């Protein structure tokens, strides 16, 4: 039972038994993500000081201070998950190929693979706007004891055993699901501990916020254009409010709390949209469904899509159930 103000560490231990595969491996995995999140958080918070630190750090021959934050975040998450021998494979938005994690003493005995967008919304770093990290966890399908293969990563979203995100915002939060609802933990930076602040998070069934990059309007499919016009019409509880941060994690987080829809449709310039199925859409879809929301490519459930490549992109409509269903109605009616 989730108790407010419980620490994330306590919550993980208490809920370990309720998870259907109770080897403790998944708990260790979430623990490592918690640790890496704290390290990355520390660095993200210093982003505005980068020039100052860089100048002071010129004596550092490693040049580590100058590293771009998305590369830094990528390295930290990969290091944490490999050093502690937690997973058998990692795929990252920042890496061309997946990484086979060799466990020295057990020889590929780990069961889980992790897929990660280490820094989401990275263009917001320079302007002190919230960014995030997104992660997604699957059980491998190839036999334990052998190196992981591409097929371990190309599983449908419906096979996820855990997913979550960290939002480095006005406060830093870790929000995740293991298939039993969604819980949010807020970091107390003074002591470096995450506390359960948002138990059992749920999307309101209806919402009044739509989040889309309207600068691309001219390139959107007719169904999306009509839906945007519908959001802007004066009728009932409309017009809705438009809010777009440009960092999926932050837009999703706000919409889950307040009620809303996030859209990254295909356009005449990008036939599959921009967002990545494996690192962004599937984990967010799992969280959305666990929070009573919905995630679709405009026509079908995101988590039913069979991935064919690691860096695959897909149109994304996600948020309050009734809003996503309304958008789907428009997509269907005006499908080209």
Q: Could you tell me if 148 and 140 are in contact, meaning their C-beta atoms sit under 8 angstroms apart?
A: yes
Separation between Cα atoms, residue 332 and residue 182, nearest integer Å:
30
Q: Using the rule CB under 6 A, which residue among 12, 248, 284, 302 binds ligand AHG? A: 248
> Does the CA dihedral 129-218-256-240 come out positive or negative?
positive
CB of 116 to ligand AHG, least distance (A): 10
Separation between Cα atoms, residue 107 and residue 119, nearest integer Å:
30
Q: 88 contacts which partner out of Mn ion, ligand AHG, none, CB within 5 to 8 A by kind?
A: none
328 touches Mn ion (CB under 5 A): no
Which of 132, 307, 292 is CA-nearest to residue 204?
292
Helix 248-258 to helix 282-290 angle (10° resolution) is 10
Q: 247 contacts which partner out of ligand AHG, Mn ion, none, CB within 5 to 8 A by kind?
A: ligand AHG
CB of 275 to ligand AHG, least distance (A): 6
Q: How many CB atoms lie within 10 A of CB 80?
A: 20
Which of 330, 323, 325, 329 is CA-nearest to residue 207?
323
Separation between Cα atoms, residue 336 and residue 333, nearest integer Å:
9
Q: How many CB atoms lie within 10 A of CB 287?
A: 27
Residue with tokens 């269907």: 332
120 touches Mn ion (CB under 5 A): yes
246 touches ligand AHG (CB under 6 A): yes
94 touches ligand AHG (CB under 6 A): no
Window 81-110: residues binding Mn ion (CB under 5 A): 93
CB of 190 to ligand AHG, least distance (A): 29
117 touches ligand AHG (CB under 6 A): yes
CB of 279 to ligand AHG, least distance (A): 8
243 touches ligand AHG (CB under 6 A): no
117 touches Mn ion (CB under 5 A): yes
272 touches ligand AHG (CB under 6 A): no
Q: Using the rule CB under 6 A, which residue among 121, 265, 298, 307 binds ligand AHG? A: 121
Residues that bind ligand AHG (CB under 6 A): 93, 117, 120-122, 213, 246-248, 274
């Amino acid at each position: 039972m989730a108790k407010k103000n419980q620490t994330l560490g306590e919550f993980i231990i208490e809920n370990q038994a309720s998870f259907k595969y109770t080897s403790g491996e998944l708990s260790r995995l979430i623990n490592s993500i918690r640790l890496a999140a704290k390290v990355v958080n520390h660095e993200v918070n210093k982003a505005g000081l980068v020039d100052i630190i860089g100048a002071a750090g010129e004596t550092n021959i490693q040049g580590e201070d100058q590293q771009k934050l998305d590369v830094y975040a990528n390295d930290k998450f990969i290091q944490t998950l490999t050093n502690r021998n937690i997973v058998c494979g990692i795929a990252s938005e920042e890496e061309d190929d997946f990484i086979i994690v060799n466990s020295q003493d057990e020889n590929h005995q780990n069961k889980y693979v992790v897929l990660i967008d280490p820094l989401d919304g990275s263009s917001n770093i320079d302007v002190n706007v919230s960014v995030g990290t997104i992660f997604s966890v699957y059980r491998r399908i190839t036999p334990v004891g052998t190196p992981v293969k591409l097929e371990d990563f190309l599983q449908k979203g419906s096979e996820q055993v855990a997913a979550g995100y960290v939002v480095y915002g006005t406060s830093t939060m870790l929000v995740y699901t293991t298939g039993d609802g969604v819980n949010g933990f807020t970091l107390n930076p003074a002591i470096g501990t995450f506390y359960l602040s948002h138990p059992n998070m749920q999307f309101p069934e209806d919402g009044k916020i739509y989040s889309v990059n309207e600068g691309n309007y001219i390139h959107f499919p007719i169904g999306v254009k009509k839906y945007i016009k519908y959001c802007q019409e004066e009728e009932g509880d409309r017009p809705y409010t438009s809010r777009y941060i440009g960092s999926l994690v932050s837009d999703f987080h706000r919409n889950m709390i307040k009620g809303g829809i996030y859209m990254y449709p295909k356009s005449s310039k990008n036939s599959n949209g921009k967002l990545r199925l494996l690192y962004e859409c599937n984990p967010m879809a799992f969280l959305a469904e666990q929070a009573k929301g919905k995630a679709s490519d405009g026509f079908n459930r995101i988590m039913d899509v069979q991935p064919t490549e690691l860096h695959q992109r897909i149109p994304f409509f996600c948020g309050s159930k009734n809003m996503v269903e309304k958008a789907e109605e428009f997509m269907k009616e005006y499908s080209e």
